[in-house]
Structure 1
Amino acid sequence: MAEPFAEVIGDPIAHSKSPLIHRFWLERLGLEGDYRKTHVLADRLGTFLAERRADPDWRGCNVTIPHKLGVMPLLDAIDPLAQKIGAVNTIVPGADGLTGYNSDAPGFLEPLRPRLAERHLLRTARIFGAGGAARAIAHALWDEGFTLILIARDLAKAEALAAEFAAGHVHAAPLARFAEPLDFDWGDTEGRLDLVVNATSLGMTGQPPLALDFGHVPPGAIVYDAVYAPLETGLLAEARRRGHPTIDGLAMLIGQARRAFALFFGRPAPADPESDAALRALLTQ
């Protein structure tokens, strides 16, 4: 007898750690089911979803690069948050067809929740990237009261994303500017929450590093890298060396997976410290 299953789709997909996460949680909870990874090319998205619609055991899929925008016209409904972000990373079948969600936004915020519960005089985020992950992060932080600086190799893409927000609190800048040395007196940063977020593929295995002069990074800023392969990117290593608090890509990966797991299998993922430690150990073997 076939078992229920979910999966992650993308191009490429071999690097994905999502099956390890979801299978760990399924085993931990004693649930029947599986989670797989499936290589899907852009011109096969329509065919793939048509086939899955007809499979009664399919519980849905996560969507990774480069399909987070491409799947949207193929769905029957889109959750309001995903609609606002303009990107879908989770698809779930239901009585009314396929619905698209975005779990990147809540997943990104999960490790920041203790700091976000504090009061701040000013919240500022420098976000590198203008793709699907950067869009989710920008909207998530905007809703948390951050002034945004959107930074991309293609300035036009950063400006287009910035135009979606209220003028005055969102700025766009070219990536090359942040590689240049900056000698700036940041003054008193007491009462501020500053973030520097890498939402690009720079620093990923096989990719060049993110060229960032740390003169652009406010004292005490949290440096958050969405890249998780390698887990210790050059950006995080340098940030730690300089005494900045850091958050690695596994935090966002696990956070977004929690939301998706509940949608796929109808149960919340384990969130106790012991399970979290065992999962992180599994993912870093």
Structure 2
Amino acid sequence: MTPYAEVIGSPVAQSKSPAIHRFWLQKLEIEADYRATEVPGDGLPEYLERRRDDPHWRGCNVTMPLKQMVLPLLDHVATDASAIGAVNTVVRAGSGALSGHNTDAGGFVEPLAPLLAERHWLRMARVIGTGGAARAIVHALAEHGFVIVLAGRDRAKARSLLMQLAPEGEHHTPPLEHFASATDFAFDDREGCLDLVINASALGMQGQPPLAFDWSHAPPGAIAYDIITDPVQTTFLRRAEAAGHRTIDGLAMLIGQAAAAFELFFGRPAPRQHDAELRALLTR
């Protein structure tokens, strides 16, 4: 039997993870496979129990809506995943024990690394979304000294998330609709500051409602970051570019988090020298 890993969630058919992992497996000539498996929330316990007994199963990536639901079903949760309160990667040990990890935070930070190596007078991030991916992003932002403005459909959930993941600092939770209409706010001098505007929600994804964000709410020089990968070039990013902002698309985070998971599954670093070829494959 061939060793394999997979991505689970509901829905999962649109996931780009199989294409990414199979690309790397082929480049490294590893005899293994990576699949997509539909697993609804109520089927998660049974799924994990079946996989525990499969010696060929290396683990799985976990996507919506399972990233928090999976936590109590695991034997061990890594420190980062425990702090974030969400797991996106499950790895099977030889004994059948299951350990949970979160590679979303590292994947999110990866394209920002050159900027985070610089010193800033102020770092501020406006974040849309309060789901599992947003938890990892808020955790990473707090670790790197950002003031966080977190907006979601449920303000109470946003406040709770900040209290859990970023209890220190003067963070804010405006209503989501605050960003929908134009503002004439006069931003102060942003030289020496790092400003991010991050869509960490499903808004703007294929089949979902659009994200209503007016770019007058972003200071000059802000960077737009959208974690959505379907489509890769979202309306959010197109409007940011039209307003003169730099952009980071969802493939950056997706490939970064996948690389960390790949090494956990297959014991080899992902061949990142082929990133340009991989991006071309994913955007056909």
Contact 1:129–1:198 under 8 Å retained in 2: yes
2:126 equivalent in structure 1: 126
Tell me how far apart the structure 1 counterparts of residues 153 and 186 of structure 2 sit (CA, whole Å): 26
The residue that corresponds to 1:209 in the other structure is 210
Q: Cα distance, 1:188 vs. partner?
A: 1.0
Structure-1 residue corresponding to 2:68: 69
Q: What displacement does 1:153 show? A: 1.1
Shift of 1:10: 0.3
Q: Which residue of 2 aligns with 1:116?
A: 116
1:176-217 residue CA offsets vs partner (Å, 9 max, x unmatched): 111122101112110000000000110111112110111111
Q: 1:162 Cα deviation (Å)?
A: 1.5
| Identity percentage of aligned residues | 59
Per the normalisation by structure 1, the TM-score is 0.97
The aligned amino acid for 1:27 is Q
Provide the C-alpha distance between the structure 2 equivalents of 1:100 and 1:167, rounded to a whole number of angstroms: 26
Does residue 135 (structure 1) correspond to residue 96 (structure 2)? The answer is: no
Shift in Å, 1:170: 1.8
State the distance in 2 between where 1:132 and 1:17 align.
18
SS at match of 1:44: helix
SS class of match (1:35): strand
Q: Secondary structure at the match of 2:174?
A: strand
Matched, 1:248 2:249: yes
Structure 1, 163-172 or 56-65: larger mean CA deviation:
163-172
SS of corresponding position for 1:163? helix
Aligned partner of 2:121: which letter?
Answer: L
* 3-state secondary structure, aligned to 2:137: helix
SS of aligned partner of 1:171: coil
Aligned-pair distance for 1:127? 0.6
- Residue 178 of structure 2: aligned partner: 177
C-alpha deviation, 1:282, in angstroms:
0.4
Answer with 98-107 or 154-163: which moved more: 154-163
Q: C-alpha offsets along residues 84-129 of structure 1, whole Å, 9 cap, x if unaligned? A: 0000000001156100000100000111111111111110011100
CA distance in 1, matches of 2:208, 2:53: 38
Deviation at 1:169, TM superposition (A): 2.5
Structure 1 residue identity aligned to 2:9: G
Distance 1:282 1:81 in 2: 31
RMSD: 0.9
User: Given that residues 158 and 173 in structure 1 are in contact (C-alpha distance below 8 angstroms), is that contact kept between their aligned partners in structure 2?
Assistant: no
In structure 2, give the amino acid aligned to 1:236. Answer: L
1:160 aligns with 160
**Residue deviations 1:11-60 (CA, integer Å, cap 9, x gap):** 00110000000000000111110000000111111110010000010000
Please give the alpha-carbon distance, in whole angstroms, between the structure 2 residues aligned to 1:167 and 1:144: 12
Deviations 1:227-278 (A, max 9, x none): 1101111110000111100000111110100110000000000121xx0110
* Secondary structure, aligned partner of 1:235: helix
Report the equivalent of 1:236.
237
Correspondence for 1:276? 275
SS of alignment partner, residue 189 of structure 1: coil
Asked if 2 retains the 8 angstrom alpha-carbon contact of 1:86 and 1:135, the reply is: yes
1:99 alignment counterpart: 99
Secondary structure in 1 matching 2:127:
strand
Q: Distance in 1 between matches of 2:140 and 2:188?
A: 27
Instruction: Tell me, in whole angstroms, the C-alpha distance in 2 between the residues paired with 1:110 and 1:266.
Output: 20
1:268 partner SS: coil
Check if 1:23 corresponds to 2:58: no
Letter in 2 for 1:262: E
Aligned to 1:84: 83
* Corresponding pairs, count: 282
Aligned equivalents of 1:225, 1:52: Cα separation in 2: 33
Partner of 2:172, secondary structure, is strand
Instruction: Provide the rounded CA distance (Å) in 2 between the counterparts of 1:204 and 1:244.
Output: 21
Aligned match of 1:50: 49
Q: Over residues 69-98 of structure 1, what are the superposed CA-to-partner deviations in whole Å (9 max), with x where a residue is unaligned?
A: 111110001001000000000000115610
TM-score normalised over the length of structure 2: 0.97
